[in-house]
Amino acid sequence: MKVGLVSPYDLAVPGGVNSHVHHLADNFLRLGHDVRIIAPSSDVSRLGENEIAIGRPMSIPAGGSVARMLMAPRLAQPVRRLLREEMFDVVHVHEPLASFLPIHFLRSSSAVNVGTFHAARDSRARLYTYTRRLLKGCFRRLDGKIAVSQAAMRLVAPHFPGYYNIIPNGVDVERFSAPHAPIPELDDGMLNILFVGRLEKRKGLRYLLRAFARLKSLREEARLIVVGGYNARQRRGYERWVKATNLRDVIFAGYAPLDLLPRYHHSAHIFCAPNTGNESQGIVLLEAMAAGCPVVASNIDGFAAVVTDGVEGLLVRPKDPDALAEALLTLADDPALRAQMADRGRERAQHFSWERISRRVLSYYERLHYEKHSAPGRERDLVEV
């Protein structure tokens, strides 16, 4: 099977959707399929062997973050040329109604067209409200629709009703579950609490810092490690608050490359995700669970879909520092409970391995291909004589 995976996001910039696309491609190739990844790129010199760049992306504010997307409307000719040259069996567009590139593929593709909806953000709901009439024709070109979670489906389905196959994001279970030596400076007997994420408001770090201050007043051995792709300007306000409150043992570690990130998980005793909402799926939770970290997280749709309260971790009310502090204290004081949750988390994460997720997507392709290309009246040919 020849598959075209289309992303609206800059190939040169790491991100959740592009990571999803690359993992699908790697597993499809491993299973013997022919795959192309098509997306804009700000650095064509870094294109991989199976990557094709169309256009240059620009920065677009989206959901409290900034997305690097292609918004140029004049794409019909290069898209049609590529479709003629590649002759895909399946064209799989990601965030199919979010930018011009996937829209042009839907308009021109005669292959089996599949779309995956990733977002669970209020800003995307407003986009669908404003553009529904314009995009209804493109939506009808989808032979199959995937949502990565119930939260993602609830965002899009009111505007574009239909059947959505829920196939979640995968997790690189092997990478995070493999043995990793702890980071030496963190392997000193302190109780390490790990936060991983950008310093956007919806990631909820301000609530975790207040919760940690309460915990620190009760458990001197506690330490908070903040890891993520943020810069000095973004962390400056948080550092000022930490200094003003005389809060000790808060480490702003900054960006951790993928080969180093699991070492932070294997140095941690508790993983905390205090996000306030707009999360389609708890990928950061699954990575922590694969690494054997018990989880404390906000009880929001995207997180509750992967963590059961009291089983793999503890879920608490969003935006509630007291509830966060209580849950952190519960796990800090109970090593046996942490170990039990870690075991259950490892088991749960296995269900989200990219190998399993990729096979589910391929199975969906095959069903859609059969349905689209079955000859009319085929059932009559099967009547016994």
Residue 122's pLDDT is what?
60
pLDDT in tens, 184-194: 999 999 999 99
If you count them, how many residues does the chain have? 385
Q: For each of the domains in the chain, give its residue range(s) and CATH number, in order of start.
A: 2-170+354-380 (3.40.50.2000), 173-351 (3.40.50.2000)
pLDDT in tens, 214-249: 999 999 999 999 999 888 888 999 999 999 999 999
Residue 55's pLDDT is what?
85
> 3-state SS of the chain?
CEEEEECCECCCCCCHHHHHHHHHHHHHHHCCCEEEEEECCCCHHHCCCCEEECCCCEEEEECCEEEEECCCCCCHHHHHHHHHHHCCCEEEEECCCCCHHHHHHHHHCCCEEEEEECCCCHHHHHHHHHHHHHHHHHHHCCCEEEECCHHHHHHHCCCCCCCCEECCCCECHHHHHCCCCCCHHHCCCCEEEEEECCCCHHHCHHHHHHHHHHHHHHCCCEEEEEECCCCHHHHHHHHHHHHHCCCCCEEEEECCCCCCHHHHHCCCCEEEECCCCCCCCCHHHHHHHHCCCCEEEECCHHHHCCCCECCCEEEECCCCHHHHHHHHHHHHCCHHHHHHHHHHHHHHHHHHEHHHHHHHHHHHHHHHHHHHHCCCCHHHHCCCC
Q: How far apart are CA 145 and CA 134, in angstroms?
A: 19
Could you tell me the mean pLDDT of each successive run of 10 residues in the chain, 385 residues long?
95 87 97 97 91 83 61 84 97 92 95 93 67 88 96 91 95 95 96 94 95 97 94 90 97 93 98 91 93 97 93 97 98 98 97 96 97 64 39
Tell me the whole-structure pTM to 2 decimals: 0.86
